[in-house]
Structure 1
Amino acid sequence: MLTYNNLRRATYYSNPNRSKLYTEQYLETAKKVQDSFNIALGNFYLGNANVVSSNFEIALNHYLKSANYFEKAKDSARLSSVFNGIGAAYENSGNDSLSLKYFKKSQEISFSIGDLRRSAIALTNIGNIYKYRNDLVNAKLHMEQAVEQIKTTNRIQYIHSLTLNLANLYVELKDYDDATLLFEEVLTTVDTINDIYIYGASLRGLGNVALERDNYSEGLKKMEKAYRKLKSSGFFDEALATMPDLILAYELNGQYKNGLIIANQYQKLTDSIFSDEKDKNLSEALQKYEAEKKDTELKLLKVETEKKEQQNRIYIILAIAGLCIAGLLGFFGYKNKQRNLVLAKQKSLLEKTVDEKNILLREVHHRVKNSFQIVSSLLYLQSENAVDKEAKLAIKEAENRVRSMVLIHQKLYNKDELVGINTSDYFHDLVRDLFESHQFKSEPVPYDLDVDAIVLDIETITPIGLILNELIINTLKHAFPEALPENKITISFYKKNNILLLKVTDNGKGFEGEIDSNSFGIVLMKALSKKLKATLDYDSVVNSGTTATLTIRKFNEL
């Protein structure tokens, strides 16, 4: 058991799957010799291993076995650690209420026995839950208590990590003075343990503070130093996480070429990581979802079959023994209650399956949004370096098209509707962004927006958003040769007689004849219209304005 335990610890971070195998062998050995203490300890270690591999339900099962033993044995220190592990399992599975409950239990127990190290760790975990809920006041209160307690111990590595956690919270609260003090405090002592990760994280924190305070040159200096140190020391994940901050620092300092170089490197690395993780995670998640779905369907079928058989027996008994109606009704009530309990369990399984599917969809939308955002940033950097006016304008238009798709996935990730978009919210945000980023006149053109709140799926809203993007940009470019106070654009979107109507109207110069069907924007709108089985018509009067009407016949309203 000692050998397996040492192997488990040695591979915990470098090879989690092998570490889990050693943990299982440790537990099996403890069971063979009927060593209750080490069986409980093995269950705790196996709970930790399953949290690392995202098997949270299995982790909770092992944690509860371990907690039951340590609670009976009155081993408060280890019970505190088990409760902390349960809190972590619930936190990673998205149940922050139960997570908060067990973190608080862990903190209360460890503090009561004077174990300030475990108490401080639990306080930091509690603070992180409040931070996730955007309750920064409570987050600050608990993290400050955590740092105060951990500083009474001699565990300098824990002191560093908890202090950095609090310093980063101060940055979010815009308390830059206190954040700077904590980052510098860590830097003065980090050399005593030669912790490159802590060193790089502290420099990165100071760099972010400098950028927030508009001290761009100092921020860039700190970011470059942190990135070089982490990369040269083999901390590639931490170096990768520092790259977006470094790109921003280069941009703020006007060093667009260096920013573009790092952005290209970051894109290649994230594309590689995302591709590997996406294939693995999607495959595992879909396999798990399908297996659980089939298992649930079989269980429900079994319950329904049992229900029919029980009803048939009851009918026969009622027909034969009418005198036993009262007793049979009682029996039926009991059986019905049992069936309801079984159905409730099946419902819980189905809800859990749906929750896992929603987590998967939210992760997909988040990653797609990040990928589009990187593309948008690269287009922006490229436009800043473009000399030719036409090229600069073409890149800007491409950036706007990408931004319309970024906005869709951002809304899907931030809201409960993971498969649908509210047209009112989306159109208001999209139009505002377009008018702010694509205004060519000295005077801003006013606009009116009248949009019905209709929830559409992503296959419908994406082409509509791109078409609206093209119509507004065309209007801003061609409708108004000069800025006049009476210039105005009106945008409306509504449902009528089972069709959707999108109208963009201006009071500009108008035009005669046909639209230039060879321009990229017109070709794009025609292609997108075919997908919606839509028609795009123009009604224009010279010197009176133009109305573009998109009539949509194929859509999916949720």
Structure 2
Amino acid sequence: VDALNAYCKRIYYSDQDSSFLGASNSYELALSSGYEKGRAIAEVYIGFYYWWNNNLKKCTVLLEDAIPILVKHRIYTEYGLAKLITILVLWAKGEMEEAFDVVHKALIEIESITTKNNMATARLSGALGVMYYDLNELDLSLTNYNRAKIHSRSNTDFSFKAYINIGIAAIKKKQNKLSAAKSILEQAIEQSKVHGMLWVLEARACYEIGTIFKLENNLERAAEFMEHSYRLREIHHAKPGMVSNLIALAEIEIIKKKNNVALEKLNTALKIATTENLKPKQTRILYLISNLYEEQGDLDSAFTFLKKHNTIAREVELEEKTNRLKNIQLKYTIEKAKKDAESQRKINLELKKANKLITKQKNELATSNHEKEILLKEIHHRVKNNMQIISSLMALQSLQVNDKKLGAELLTTRHRIQSMAMIHEMLYSTGEFSTIDYEQYLKQLINRLISSIKGAENNIEVRVEAKSIKLNMDTSIPLGLLINELVTNSLKYAFPNGDGGNISVVIKSDSQYYTMRVSDNGIGFPADYDFESTSSLGLRLVMNLVVQLEGSLVRSSTKGTQYDITFKKIESIV
């Protein structure tokens, strides 16, 4: 698809039939393979072919489909060509205001995407050059043609460059700068021999240079270029252009006093102009024919043609008055569109500045957040390591003491420290610094306690259920200590003599509170055990932790021991 489209890009202006065939094949391939960008480019070259052959309906359908895709993929060359064709279709229909509107909106759209030189801006500026020239706004036309030259400087579309140069030459000719105009046109014709160009451009270039030679009274050279231009237009049935050539050639013959030859050319031109309803050209032809008959002494024929001339001239004058009024209205619309475009440009510029500032601030914030994450990770890692060192020291110390009770207390304290260290470890290892998955934490905590207290070979069954429970550090640490105490008690006292059993920890949540049940199926507490006035450090610690969690605790010993605790999540203090 890309190869076919590149081929069409090189030849679309010089060999329309081959370009159409290549673009059609490219379109089918792109469509069958879902290659959106390739399809849109192919549609432009097919559309160009239809436009060139005056099939405007098919052309419009293809370009309307292609343009949004070309903008999306930032394909400026074909976007500019598609917009140029669209604008020229509107201009030819006389829909001038809409044509200007399309140009200005397209320029704003392109400028919002890129400020670099591009073929879209070049083609749109070229279109403005043509439109302002038709309105006789020569300064504005030249400004836009020059802008088109700047944007197309690095492009290899020589046909487009010739198109722009011919437009500039036409302006120079109107300004009576004949030498400059002729030089530009000669360069354009020379380039056409080297690179090839659209016949219509070559025909126009030859016509324009022919008129310059005629003004310079170099009639032989003028006739030579006019004849070549006429032949090109005749081959391609470009009838309005053919009429212009025939009038110019007739005027050359009149100067050379070859009135019969001139009359023959004018009659041919009149037939075409009448068939095509080219009224301004008809008036010029009829006037010249009338003059020729007058010179020959045929006053009846001279009067007849002059009468026809006057009738059509009045129609043309009325149309010109209407057109002048339309042009005044159009100029107002253009000025308004220019002001709107300038206003939109300023808005776009401010939006770009704001976007740059927002992007900069987002990047700075992202960098700052990343640095804070690294810092938090390092802090949690160091806290965990320090706690691990303390835990290891206690383990070593417990091995050195002879008092079994003291050794057991040191081991219990070590478990408490490990329950806190595990939270810091999970916070830095998961990368979530605000909360931890509590079910995962509980499974690791309880398994460590069983392994430490009961050994690797044990017959304790554990059930942990805390699905979707995520708690912050300010809640996780006191709750972890609390569970550590209760499970440690179960492991130490619920299953004497190496008996097996079950331990269960279940946490559930509603909108405001969490409920937790820690239970075992062991021997339970003695019936007369006073839980409130116990001297056990572990149970007193449990009571204090429940208060810290703003919760409540209910204990029962019907079948084993069961603790039902309700608590609130403690909000982190930043």
TM-score bracket relative to the smaller structure: 0.3 to 0.5
TM, length-normalised to structure 1: 0.46
> Larger radius of gyration, structure 1 or 2?
2
